[in-house]
Structure 1
Amino acid sequence: MASVPLTVKGAELLRAELHQLKTIERPRVIEAIAEARSHGDLSENAEYDAAKERQGFVEGRIKEVEGKLSVAQIIDPKLLDADGRCVFGATVDLEDLESGDKVTYQIVGDDEASLKDGKISISSPIARALIGKHAGDVADVQAPGGLRSYEVLDVKYI
């Protein structure tokens, strides 16, 4: 399995989710299954079916998170020395050359991406266009609405 790039914060969030799943969700599901079993006939017991389905989801997510953490390549943006280039973990200030809008994005792993938090996935079209660029460069991004051009204003490693 290929390594999964994660920022330090992303790895902490996955570890916290794993802890939550193992210490709170798993016991809660076990309790729900036991409660549903006590109601008798399992063949027509919707509570039991729902609890077993939830158990499958929780156990699947635990396996998924453990797998990602086991192959994670944790990158601390503060320790990067990329000579001002856009790389994984960098925070990039951009200006849309058409509209003049300014935005700031951090390039993160797929699991950490959240547009409302200003975090874009390394596999997104805009991040792929930005990789390797320096302040002053222009990145052309093939977006669903057509070609967009962004000027890189600043690259920070925070």
Structure 2
Amino acid sequence: MSTPQTWLTQEAADRLQAELATLESSGRRDVTAKIEAARAEGDLKENGGYHAARDEQGKMEARIRQLKQILENAHIGTPPASEDGVVGAGMVVTARIAGDEMKFLLGSREITSDEYDVYSEKSPLGSAVMGAKIGETVSYTAPSGKAISVEIVEARFI
């Protein structure tokens, strides 16, 4: 099974690039300064400030790796038009779940939207609806273990 492609809007890609640039420059400088200041206090075994700064450094480096991976592998722009009525990444999906209609944007969790909740195509809901056609009912297993049915009402690019 192939990995779904991640699409980012230009705005989201620019935001992630800016975050990466900040973390790689001033972020690293700031954490290094915290580590050096804490190291100057003496005994590192019982130095809470030193250990907190090292933890912060580890989390920041993990975020830098994550951002690089996202930006290296993401497709930026508008996803190609899918076959008629087939749900794909970058689409606003209207679905009926337990009798209630909901609209959500299917895309990377790095995308932000004031108008729609964003679900990754790798999430349980996203995986279930990817490739489904309008009118089709699919199901997925919620983290609680409950099977949830989803009817695709509409799918369109924003």
* TM-score, length-scaled by structure 1: 0.75
Give unmatched runs, 5+ long, in structure 2: none
The whole-number CA distance in structure 2 between the counterparts of 1:107 and 1:156 is: 10
8 Å Cα contact 1:4/1:68 also seen in 2: no
Deviation at 1:31, TM superposition (A): 1.6
2:125 paired with 1:126: yes
Q: Report if the CA contact (8 A) 1:139-1:149 is conserved.
A: yes
**Residue type of the partner of 2:67?**
V
SS at match of 1:151: strand
Cα offset, 1:29, TM superposition: 0.7
CA distance in 1, matches of 2:29, 2:4: 31
Sequence identity of aligned pairs in percent?
Answer: 29
Q: Structure 1 residues 42, 100: closer, same or farther in 2, change over 3 A?
A: closer
CA distance in 2, matches of 1:128, 1:43: 46
Alignment map for 1:68-79 (pairs within 5 Å)? 68-77=70-79
Q: Secondary structure at the match of 1:23?
A: helix
> Contact 2:132–2:138 (CA<8 Å) still a contact in 1?
no
Secondary structure, aligned partner of 1:49:
helix
Further displaced range: 40-49 or 24-33? 40-49
Tell me, what secondary structure is at the counterpart of 2:44?
coil
Distance 1:146 1:113 in 2: 28
Alignment of 1:19-30 (within 5 A): 19-30=21-32
| Count of aligned pairs | 151
TM-score where L is the length of structure 2: 0.75
Structure 1 segment 58-137 matched on structure 2, within 5 A:
58-77=60-79, 80-82=80-82, 83-96=84-97, 99-109=98-108, 111-112=110-111, 117-135=116-134, 137=135
Residues 19 and 3 (structure 1 numbering): CA distance in 2 closer, same or farther, change over 3 Å?
farther
Return 5+ residue gaps in structure 1 as ranges.
none
**What is the one-letter code of the residue matched to 2:154?**
D
C-alpha deviation, 1:120, in angstroms: 1.2
1:10 offset after TM fit, Å?
Answer: 4.2
Q: In the TM superposition, what is the alpha-carbon distance from 1:111 to its structure 2 partner?
A: 5.0
Return the letter of the residue paired with 2:137.
Answer: A
